């Protein structure tokens, strides 16, 4: 039986630095837990543009379709700001999502107890926070037609179309309900059914899917109220299901409840392949951070946690995912901090690789 396959796309900026740390973690699981992966590496984003003139080469896209999971670092940077929209680094990421049909984006917002003081909210509101936002990723206003900028009555007009089919809403809803069944059996669906027909359809379809998951407590909320409630009392939520645009906004809002973007992973899941595994791509929420690139200051935890999500959702290694997450929690509880997490004189400041050293030591201690 062949080893599961993993395509690594470090991308740009600190993406390359944090991905090098993930490779060390992957090697640890191979050496200490006999979890072997067939790992390949390629280019995406600005790095791909520099070599191929496009943000994602066709050969790389073909590889992504064949492997069990893709792990991506980050894309973009000021060097590419003046490129034509069609070849900007971010277009490589969007192409991966679209052509792999990764329709369910899982964005956990988890606040480790040791980092509760880093949130802009009171510690008692966020300590122990564990929310999962499921964002529909391949439709909605980011992809709807017509779109573009045109002249109308001698004036420029920008057009984007919010469009959803019931099938697109339903498959994301099923992914969200399945997750809710494995967690606290509580799901809140967010839309704008009060002013948008797509929101009315969204609410109707989610309600229909709920009939297949009667154990799950379903609630509906307008997305603007949802944003307010995330800031007012975030622990009222467990799983949130919402559309592409609102999911983009709400998940970034939830991310900052935890105190640092350097802590947050994500998973994008699609339809099952022949081997039964869903097509999947995992990536940290943070960007390429050109201001700290090459300085050993990047926090690798979000990317390492993205690999933990891959262990859980693509490779059926839930226990090993928990082992890795627990090691990270122990390191943070011990006061080990990269620069984005430094709090007081009791913290131990470490570099990017130093954080991984501490995580690997905690993994060793878990054996």
Catalytic residue among 101, 252, 334, 357: 252
* Residue from 142, 222, 297, 334 carrying the catalytic annotation: 142
Q: Mean of the per-residue pLDDT values for the chain?
A: 94
Residue 142 known to be catalytic? yes
Told to judge if 248 belongs to the known catalytic residues of this protein, a careful annotator would answer yes
- Give the pLDDT of residue 255: 82
Q: Which residue of the set 248, 279, 282, 340 is catalytic?
A: 248
User: What are the pLDDT digits (tens) for 306-364?
Assistant: 999 999 999 999 999 999 999 999 999 999 999 888 776 778 999 999 999 999 999 99
Write down the pLDDT at residue 344. 67
Q: What is the DSSP letter of 277?
A: P
> What is the per-residue pLDDT for 113?
85
pLDDT tens-digit series, residues 254-266: 888 887 767 889 9
Cα separation, 357 vs 35, in Å, equals 20
Q: What is the pLDDT of residue 119?
A: 85
What's the confidence (pLDDT) of residue 195?
97
Averaged pLDDT, 75-93: 94
The pLDDT score that the predictor gives to residue 120 is 83
- Spatial separation of the C-alpha atoms in residues 246 and 47, rounded to whole Å: 30
pLDDT(112) > 90: no
DSSP state of 138: S
Is 1-108+263-367's fold the same as 140-257's?
no
Q: Which pLDDT tens digit goes with each residue over 131-157?
A: 999 999 999 999 899 999 999 999 999
β-pair type (130-136, 239-242)? parallel
Q: Distance (Å, rounded) from C-alpha 286 to C-alpha 104?
A: 19
- For residue 342, whether the previous peptide bond is cis, meaning omega lies within 30 degrees of 0, is no
Percent of the chain beyond pLDDT 90? 84
Q: Where are the beta strands (DSSP E) in 80-127?
A: 104-110
- pLDDT at residue 276, as a whole number: 77
- The answer to whether residue 293 scores a pLDDT higher than 70 is yes
What confidence tens digit (pLDDT) does each residue in 182-234 have? 999 999 999 999 999 999 999 999 999 999 999 999 999 999 999 999 999 99
Higher pLDDT, 278 or 330: 330
- The CATH number assigned to the domain with range 1-108+263-367 reads 3.40.718.10
The domain locations on the chain are: 1-108+263-367, 140-257
CA angle 40, 261, 317 (to 5 degrees): 45
51 is catalytic: no
Q: What is the pLDDT of residue 341?
A: 84
Active-site residue identified among 224, 235, 334, 357:
224
pLDDT at position 114: 85
Convert the pLDDT of each residue in 44-59 to its tens digit. 999 999 999 999 999 9
Nearest CA to 302 out of 124, 141, 71, 105 is that of 71
Candidates 12, 42, 164, 192; catalytic one: 192
> 140-257 maps to which CATH number?
3.40.50
């Amino acid at each position: 039986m062949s080893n599961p396959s993993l395509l690594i796309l470090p991308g740009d900026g600190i993406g390359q630095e944090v991905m090098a740390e993930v490779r060390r973690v992957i090697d640890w699981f191979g050496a200490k837990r006999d979890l072997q992966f067939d790992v390949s590496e390629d280019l995406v984003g600005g790095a791909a543009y520099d070599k191929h003139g496009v943000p994602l080469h066709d050969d790389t896209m073909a590889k992504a379709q064949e492997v069990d999971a893709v792990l991506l670092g980050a894309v973009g940077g000021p060097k590419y700001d003046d490129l034509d929209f069609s070849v900007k680094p971010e277009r490589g990421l969007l192409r991966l999502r679209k052509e792999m049909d990764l329709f369910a984006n899982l964005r956990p917002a988890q606040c480790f107890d040791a980092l509760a003081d880093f949130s802009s909210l009171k510690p008692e509101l966020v300590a122990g926070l564990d929310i999962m936002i499921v964002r529909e990723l391949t439709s909605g206003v980011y992809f709807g037609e017509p779109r573009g900028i045109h002249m109308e009555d001698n004036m420029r007009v920008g057009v984007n179309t919010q469009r959803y089919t019931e099938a697109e809403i339903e498959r994301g809803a099923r992914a969200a309900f399945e997750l809710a069944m494995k967690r606290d059996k509580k799901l809140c669906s967010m839309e704008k059914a009060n002013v948008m027909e797509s929101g009315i359809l969204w609410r109707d379809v989610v309600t229909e899917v709920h009939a297949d998951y009667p154990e799950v407590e379903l609630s509906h909320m307008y997305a603007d109220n949802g944003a307010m409630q995330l800031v007012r009392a975030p622990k009222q939520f467990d799983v949130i299901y919402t559309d592409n645009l609102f999911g983009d906004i709400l998940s970034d809002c939830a991310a900052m409840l935890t105190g640092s973007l350097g802590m947050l992973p994500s998973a994008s899941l699609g339809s099952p392949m022949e081997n039964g595994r869903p097509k999947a791509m995992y990536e940290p929420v943070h960007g390429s951070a050109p201001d700290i690139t090459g300085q050993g200051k990047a926090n690798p935890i979000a990317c390492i946690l993205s690999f933990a999500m891959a262990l859980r959702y693509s490779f059926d290694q839930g226990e090993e995912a928990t082992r890795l997450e627990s090691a990270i929690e122990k390191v943070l509880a011990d006061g080990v901090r990269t620069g984005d997490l430094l709090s007081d004189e009791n913290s131990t400041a470490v570099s990017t690789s130093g954080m991984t050293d501490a995580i690997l030591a905690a993994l060793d201690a878990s054996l």
